[in-house]
Amino acid sequence: MRDIENILKTRIQNDKANTFAIIVPTDSARLKRQRELVGYHPNRAVADLRVYTLGSLIQRLYDQVRPSRQYISQGLQNLWLHEIVDPQSDNSDTYRYEAFRPSQDLSVPDSTLSLVVDTINHLRERGETALNIVADNPTKVDLVHIYENYEAKLADQWIDEQGKHLHLANNFNSEFMRNAFPQVNLVVVEGFTVLSKADIKILTGIAGMPNIEMWFRTDYVEGNENLYRNIADLVRQFEAVGVNIDADYEREPELHQHFAKNLFRAEAEEVNLNHDPETAVQIKVLKPADRSEEVEQIAHLIQKHVSDDNCKLKDICVAYYNIGQYQQRIAETFPAYGIPYSLVEIAPLTRSEVVKAIFSRLSSRQVPLEGDYFSDVEPALHTRLFHPDAFQRYVDDLLKKGRVIQHILNPMLRKNREVVEGEIEAYRQFNRIVKELCSVLKSDGVESCSLDDYIEKLHHIAKHTNYQNRPATKAETVRIVQLGELRSLEFDVVFLGDFVEGRFPANYQPDPLLPEIPYRNEEEQLHDSRFMFYRVLKSFRKVLYLLTPKRERAADLIPSPFLGQLKALADVQEIEIADPTQGSTSGFLSTYSNHVWTSPVPSNESFPAEIAEMRPLINHVVKVEKSRENTHDHLDYEGVLTIETLSAVNRRRLESRREHIYSVTELEIYARCPFQYFINNVLKFRVKEDETEDELSGLEKGSLLHDVLFEFYNNRRNQKRLPIGQCNEEAFKEAKAQLNELLDSNAEKKRNRRKEKLIGENNLFWETDIEKLRIALHKWLAAERTYGLPVTPRYFEVSFGQERELRYPELSCREPITIGDVRMTGKIDRIDIGNGTFNIVDYKTGSSTVRMPEILSGRSLQLPIYLQTAKKLLEMHGGIGLEPAAGLYYKVRLDQFNAELGIGTESQNGDAYSGYNGTDWRPVSSRNGQLLADETFDARLARVSGYVQHYVDSISKGTFPLITRVETFVDSEEEGDTPITPKNKTEPCNYCSYKRVCRVGAISEVTQSDD
Ligand code: SF4
């Protein structure tokens, strides 16, 4: 076998570097390889050295394609997909992508959109079009829709990263290679463990060219498939087209052969393992109490290696499979030990301080951020319209006048070089995305956009554009890396942290959108992890430390299964750090917390002097947390008031809550968060309302709508006018005029009733709001006219359990209506009567819509309770035999009207009720989750009554836990007795005024919503 490295060396020494190209996986591998190759030349200077990442090779080849398409970056791709999924148009016929929305009126969360983008990119990488997906569920139907729209948008004009690879794979032409690299006759592909199908096709296409010789260099030992399976696949594919294989790449026969042959091999025990005493003492396992102590121990050992062994900081590396939750700990601990470190972080552009400052200065609407990045500038008004060219000039000018570059480079600020480089990189990327956006808009023929629109688009692109915020440094520091970056790097001392089950190897997560065609299947992922671990074993020259923390909060952690595999091959020494508390206060607290957690009575040993005074507080915190997590001795700290902690008076007060009259809203607060209910309704805290504005507030809008509609229908009924559906043109005009009159008079009353922020007669904001409401009400009326079902609006504002004057006495009653044993009060906006059925209608001006899971998990009670109440009220007034058909939301929002189903029976769909989408009435789609079979409908109402009883029982017993701890369930025949916990438990926290005072953020089980 020829020695390929020698061939390369000879060519360099003969000044023929332009005759070969080397392809490597990453940019750092490229730099390292360039340094090595330059070292072969006697003058240490090489012209035309061609070392590329795969991405830049592809770009060079694609540059030869004619006609070529314009490239769109990942950030712009995200913007397009965002605009496809959440179009700006008010057209209610636009496809809705319901499967990706948490509820109908909420936009698709950013994290869901990222999932969609990833899936589409994976499909494109494999060359699968939208047509290849079997759309057999709503999620896939929506995914196909998005993918088709995205492909249509790309058309023949644009191309994304995956598109370039695919295009070259499917249309490979040796001319591309010859034109891009006219002198090259040798291509060396080095160090890859994964290659996509498209990339393999391109590379094997190059290999098939008559004048080109290709080498694939990898570390591969035949016979150990358990370690090398993924690589063996690549080797086979390259071998099949005559590529030369160098299988000894980056493997030192002396040091690594033993692991290469035996690691993960089932029959390893039967092999003569030949334990090397040199190696045996070099792998050490540490078992810190938790992750904080883990970082402490690493810092302690680094200090020791530097002081005792003269080890250089740059010869030490700390590696994690996933660095995420360690970044903060390292940032707190390493400086306390005086250890400088470098951590190359890839972050979204919106995290850059410079970019934040630029966004804050782009329009006069933003509040400029304080800071050192801008001289004073005068931004334009947010509504000003710009042609894309003009916008580009505007931004260039603003940055120039603001002297941003000069501020970044200001030597007076003494920023370190890494920070400055990170800021320059962010600035450069920002300019690139402005240029890209303007060029795309121009090509799309956009003549003008408002400044606000540009800013919104740019912000979205920036959120999905990454930059290196701490570029690699040559300074003397400890390197902190993710395992993926470790590759061929070597250090004297290596620490592998978080070496526990589930973290490394990571648990396999099926592809959430297309589980049957995953990007990497479970086996491939496991083999990737195995090879990564083998790389760790190749990365140290003297000592490797494996850290397996024992606990994380209340959970026990188990060492990684890879540790057992390693122990079968090498002597692994378990060590303990003699006195880990020596280091810092946080080290002491970490050890102390482990001690109190495991021993029933905390020790009396003295605390370090600097925190001795905090001892009573620390003991109290320990007592409370231990109770919350483990012993549950002090239930009052979990929101559960027990007999022992309550005075007799307070006990009686709580117990008397069984007799209270409850509103649905009140119980829905309890359902969302019992603790919020406790503060609101038991302690009766009052939150200062937001300042009133010139516009109609949400509350004012709601009450105005209710007043107008009530008077309108009530008057027509009293005046015995025809139902709207039977009006001829003239009568309909008259009805419209009545509605206008009522809107004007009621709006005027509202305006005059304002006590603060008084509104003048011609206030523009107010007038605009009223006009929008007028348009929506006209649409409502037009919709009512075309309803066409034998159903009549019959009762309006029917109240029960309310002392004040009855607005609509015919069906209302002052007595509360009981649901189970619970006395309820409320007001039903409207009851429509049909043939043996009735519907209740709730008027809404807000955007929220209740979905079935919220009814099922007991968070939404209104429609099911009102349907049962309406039935009782109707029966009390002779309406025996009328059965509930549906609970509907009539939504008047902005200048639109829609009718949506909240809960309804399948059998009456289209006969007793319909939905209105803004243009016409249609039976509700059979895929709509709010539609239930008749038996399920009855069971669901009964289930909700059960919740009501359950909540009132819990209130009177004093149970007020935080949202994260509540299990909302009531058993029923239909649903069984499985607890149904809401999917996003902390959703109610998003709008809660007590977020800062309750401890929800401190609880580990929190699953916040994405946005
Ligand atoms: S922030 Fe969340 S947990 Fe805390 S009181 Fe509000 S809803 Fe409850």
For 795, what's the count of Cα atoms within 13 Å in the CB-facing half-sphere? Answer: 24
Contact residues for 103 (Cβ-Cβ < 8 A; gap 6+): 848, 849, 850, 851
Measured in Å, residue 45 CA sits from the centre of ligand 1 at 65
3-state SS of the chain: helix, strand, coil percent to 5?
Answer: 50, 15, 35
The whole-number pLDDT of residue 980 equals 64
Measured CA to CA in angstroms, residue 616 lies from 20, 612, 636 at distances of 71, 9, 20
pLDDT score of 944 more than 50: yes
Q: Contact, 108 vs 460, CB < 8 A?
A: no
Q: Give the distance between the most distant pair of CA atoms in the chain.
A: 106
Contact residues for 744 (Cβ-Cβ < 8 A; gap 6+): 770
The whole-number pLDDT of residue 274 equals 46
pLDDT score of 405 more than 60: yes
Measured in Å, residue 126 CA sits from the centre of ligand 1 at 45
| Mean pLDDT, residues 307-311 taken together | 87
3-state secondary structure of 715: helix
Measured in Å, residue 990 CA sits from the centre of ligand 1 at 8
- The type of residue at 573 is Q
Q: Which residue has the CA at smallest separation from atom 2 of ligand 1?
A: 989
pLDDT score of 272 more than 50: no
Contact residues for 14 (Cβ-Cβ < 8 A; gap 6+): none
- In whole angstroms, what separates CA 913 from the centre of its chain? 37
d(CA 826, CA 800): 6
Cite the DSSP H helix spans in 681-800.
Answer: 698-718, 729-753, 764-785
pLDDT score of 907 more than 60: yes
Indicate the angle between helix axes 417-443 and 353-361, nearest 10 degrees. 50
3-state secondary structure of 817: strand
Closest ligand 1 atom to Cα of 964 = 3
Strand ranges in 548-694 using DSSP code E only, listed in sequence order: 551-552, 555-556, 573-575, 661-663
d(CA 79, CA 456): 10
- Residue pLDDT, tens place only, 61-85: 999 999 889 999 999 999 999 999 8
pLDDT score of 331 more than 70: yes
Question: Phi then psi for 123, rounded to 5 degrees?
Answer: -65, -45
Contact residues for 907 (Cβ-Cβ < 8 A; gap 6+): 934
pLDDT score of 798 more than 80: yes
User: What does the DSSP 8-state code read for residue 951?
Assistant: H
pLDDT score of 355 more than 70: yes
- Residue pLDDT, tens place only, 519-578: 888 899 999 999 999 999 999 989 999 999 998 866 789 999 999 999 988 889 998 876
The whole-number pLDDT of residue 1002 equals 58
Report the chain's C-alpha Rg in angstroms: 35
Instruction: Please tell me which residue, 609 or 75, carries the higher pLDDT value.
Output: 75
Measured in Å, residue 988 CA sits from the centre of ligand 1 at 7
Closest ligand 1 atom to Cα of 989 = 2
pLDDT score of 511 more than 60: yes
Start-to-end Cα distance in the chain = 57
Of 53-57, 415-419, 643-647, the poorest mean pLDDT is in 415-419
Closest ligand 1 atom to Cα of 997 = 4
pLDDT score of 584 more than 80: no
Q: Which of 128, 927, 70, 700 is nearest to 440 (CA)?
A: 70
- Residue pLDDT, tens place only, 803-820: 877 777 889 999 999 999
Measured in Å, residue 961 CA sits from the centre of ligand 1 at 10
Question: Phi then psi for 973, rounded to 5 degrees?
Answer: -60, -40
CB neighbours (10 Å) of residue 222? 10
Strands 931-932 and 896-905: parallel
Cite the DSSP H helix spans in 269-315.
Answer: 277-280, 291-309
- The type of residue at 587 is G
Measured in Å, residue 987 CA sits from the centre of ligand 1 at 9
Closest ligand 1 atom to Cα of 962 = 3
Pocket test for ligand 1, best of 670, 677, 859, 992 (most atoms within 8 A of CB): 992
Closest ligand 1 atom to Cα of 998 = 4
3-state secondary structure of 213: strand
The whole-number pLDDT of residue 335 equals 83
Q: Which residue has the CA at smallest separation from atom 1 of ligand 1?
A: 995
- The type of residue at 727 is C
Pocket test for ligand 1, best of 676, 964, 965, 1009 (most atoms within 8 A of CB): 676
Instruction: Please tell me which residue, 91 or 468, carries the higher pLDDT value.
Output: 468
Q: Contact, 799 vs 761, CB < 8 A?
A: no
d(CA 184, CA 632): 72
Measured CA to CA in angstroms, residue 622 lies from 127, 292, 588, 593 at distances of 56, 17, 14, 8
Q: Contact, 865 vs 825, CB < 8 A?
A: no
Torsion angle, CA of 354/355/359/362, rounded to 10 degrees? 70
Closest ligand 1 atom to Cα of 993 = 6
Q: Contact, 470 vs 418, CB < 8 A?
A: yes
d(CA 102, CA 85): 13
The whole-number pLDDT of residue 903 equals 96
Measured in Å, residue 847 CA sits from the centre of ligand 1 at 22
Please give the mean pLDDT across all residues of the chain: 86
How many residues appear in the chain?
1011
Q: Per-residue b/e over 991-1007, b at no fewer than 16 CB within 10 Å?
A: ebebeeebebeebeeee
Q: Which residue has the CA at smallest separation from atom 7 of ligand 1?
A: 989
Measured CA to CA in angstroms, residue 84 lies from 78, 107, 120, 470, 484 at distances of 10, 12, 13, 34, 34
Closest ligand 1 atom to Cα of 679 = 5
Measured in Å, residue 33 CA sits from the centre of ligand 1 at 54
Ligand 1 — pocket residues by CB below 6 A? Answer: 673, 675-676, 962-963, 988-989, 992, 994-995, 998, 1000
Q: Could you tell me the pLDDT band of residue 762, with boundaries at 50, 70 and 90?
A: low
Q: Could you tell me the pLDDT band of residue 688, with boundaries at 50, 70 and 90?
A: low
Closest ligand 1 atom to Cα of 995 = 1
Q: Could you tell me the pLDDT band of residue 595, with boundaries at 50, 70 and 90?
A: confident
The whole-number pLDDT of residue 474 equals 62
User: What does the DSSP 8-state code read for residue 722?
Assistant: P
The whole-number pLDDT of residue 119 equals 92
- Residue pLDDT, tens place only, 142-196: 999 999 999 999 999 999 999 999 999 999 999 999 999 999 999 999 999 999 9
The alpha carbon dihedral of 291, 297, 301, 302 has a sign of positive
Q: Residues of the chain with pLDDT > 90: what percent? A: 51
- Structure tokens that stand for 580 in this block: 């880990």
Closest ligand 1 atom to Cα of 992 = 6
Cβ neighbourhood burial of 189 (10 Å; 0-12, 13-18, 19+): buried
The whole-number pLDDT of residue 1009 equals 35
Measured in Å, residue 844 CA sits from the centre of ligand 1 at 25
Pocket test for ligand 1, best of 672, 984, 998 (most atoms within 8 A of CB): 998
Q: Per-residue b/e over 277-296, b at no fewer than 16 CB within 10 Å?
A: eebeebbbbbbbbbbbbbbb
- Across-strand partners of 653? none
Strands 822-833 and 837-844: antiparallel
- DSSP per-residue string spanning 66-96: SS--EE--HHHHHHHHHHHHS-S---TTS--
Q: Which of 838, 840, 926 is nearest to 875 (CA)?
A: 838
Q: Contact, 590 vs 608, CB < 8 A?
A: no
Identify the top-confidence range among 617-631, 740-754, 903-917, 978-992: 903-917
The whole-number pLDDT of residue 974 equals 54
pLDDT score of 760 more than 80: no
The whole-number pLDDT of residue 280 equals 46
Identify the top-confidence range among 94-103, 564-573, 957-966: 564-573
Measured in Å, residue 1007 CA sits from the centre of ligand 1 at 13
d(CA 374, CA 404): 5
Closest ligand 1 atom to Cα of 1000 = 3
Measured in Å, residue 672 CA sits from the centre of ligand 1 at 9
- Structure tokens that stand for 816 in this block: 């509360």
Measured in Å, residue 991 CA sits from the centre of ligand 1 at 9
Measured in Å, residue 680 CA sits from the centre of ligand 1 at 11
